[in-house]
């Protein structure tokens, strides 16, 4: 390859082009992306293709095994398991993504403010330590027991529980993101390009948005992918404990909770929702690993 060709390729390189090239080289990330996209398409389009009502009960067909009519079998009320998995996946992934966005916004804001402004660093970090010291699962159970009935009456049984679960998961899972972002901001604000921007009178807000945030994108994206996985697991745990969505509103955790009572005679009742949760969480974690490597300029060789 000639020097002119190398120079032309270097000139045409872009940040996101380099990120994509590095991301493609991570085999686990590519497999995770394929699996996660497949799951997203399945839960988004699947209910239109497999249009059985997930709440329709047919007692004559209860506890059936795999068949052409019911590929994943039926539950104790004769409801189609595949239809419930597809519908439940919508709810579980929606909870994961929404709760992740809440925790990411709160954690990034607190981490950037704590790392950039020294005078409020102590207050914000002690608040973070306080949240980290709280026992998460008992706290979630108490909050649900206190506010579940109020939100159900205000927004309906499904929407009220969705708002409650998303809010409490998001507001109790931002601490790791805040600590990671704060550490990176503390290192970045002493770098030459930040000091140069500060020396010419760049306002703090512009300094944060233009110079700080783009350089902490890597840990933020990794926290985002891990946040989705953690939120899905937390929602599944709450539903498995019977404190999540109503029994006629399927989620993957709720399907596990219902199927656990029949695991001795019908083990497939817990295999399918458990497999869906496992594949989703593992694929998202692999995507996070790939993004971490792709967004790190030292690994990209820049």
Domain borders along the chain are: 24-44+81-300
- What is the residue-level pLDDT of the chain in tens, covering all 302 positions? 455 544 544 455 566 677 777 778 878 889 999 999 999 999 889 888 888 878 787 788 887 878 888 888 888 888 888 888 888 888 888 888 898 899 999 999 999 999 888 889 889 999 998 888 888 778 878 888 888 888 888 887 778 888 888 888 888 888 888 998 898 888 888 888 888 888 888 888 888 888 888 888 878 888 888 888 888 888 878 877 777 777 677 888 888 888 878 887 788 888 888 888 889 888 988 888 888 777 765 555 54
Sign of CA dihedral 217, 218, 220, 221: positive
Question: 272 and 81 in contact (C-beta within 8 Å)?
Answer: yes
Q: What is the pTM of this model?
A: 0.80
Burial 29-44 (b: 16+ CB within 10 A, else e): beebbebbeebeebbe
- Say if domain 24-44+81-300 classifies as CATH 3.40.1280.10: no
Question: 172 and 131 in contact (C-beta within 8 Å)?
Answer: yes
What does the alpha-carbon distance between residue 23 and residue 222 come to, in Å, rounded to a whole number?
13
Contacts of 31 by beta carbon, 8 Å cutoff, 6+ apart: 283, 286
């Amino acid at each position: 390859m000639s020097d002119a060709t190398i120079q032309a390729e270097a000139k045409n390189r872009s940040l996101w082009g380099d990120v994509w090239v590095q991301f493609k080289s991570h085999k686990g990330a590519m497999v995770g992306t394929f699996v996660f996209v497949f799951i997203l398409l399945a839960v988004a389009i699947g209910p239109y293709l497999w249009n059985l009502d997930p709440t329709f009960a047919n007692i004559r067909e209860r506890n059936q095994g795999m068949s052409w009519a019911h590929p994943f079998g039926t539950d104790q009320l004769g409801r189609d398991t595949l239809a419930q998995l597809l519908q439940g996946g919508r709810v579980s992934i929606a909870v994961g993504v929404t709760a992740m966005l809440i925790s990411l916004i709160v954690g990034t804001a607190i981490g950037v403010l704590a790392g950039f402004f020294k005078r409020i660093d102590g207050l914000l970090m002690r608040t973070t330590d306080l949240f980290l010291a709280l026992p998460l699962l008992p706290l979630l159970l108490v909050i649900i027991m206190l506010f579940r009935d109020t939100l159900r009456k205000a927004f309906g049984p499904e929407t009220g529980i969705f708002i409650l679960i998303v809010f409490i998961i998001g507001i109790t899972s931002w601490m790791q993101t805040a600590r990671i972002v704060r550490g990176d901001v503390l290192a970045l604000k002493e770098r030459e390009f930040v000091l140069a921007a500060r020396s010419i009178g760049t306002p703090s807000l512009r300094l944060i948005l233009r110079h700080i945030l783009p350089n902490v994108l890597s840990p933020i994206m990794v926290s985002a992918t891990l946040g989705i996985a953690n939120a899905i697991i937390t929602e599944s745990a709450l539903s498995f404990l019977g404190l999540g969505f109503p029994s006629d509103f399927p989620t993957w955790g709720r399907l596990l909770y219902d199927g656990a009572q029949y695991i001795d005679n019908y083990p497939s009742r817990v295999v399918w929702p458990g497999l869906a949760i496992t594949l989703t969480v593992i694929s998202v974690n692999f995507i996070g690993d790939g993004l971490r490597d792709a967004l790190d300029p030292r690994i990209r060789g820049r």
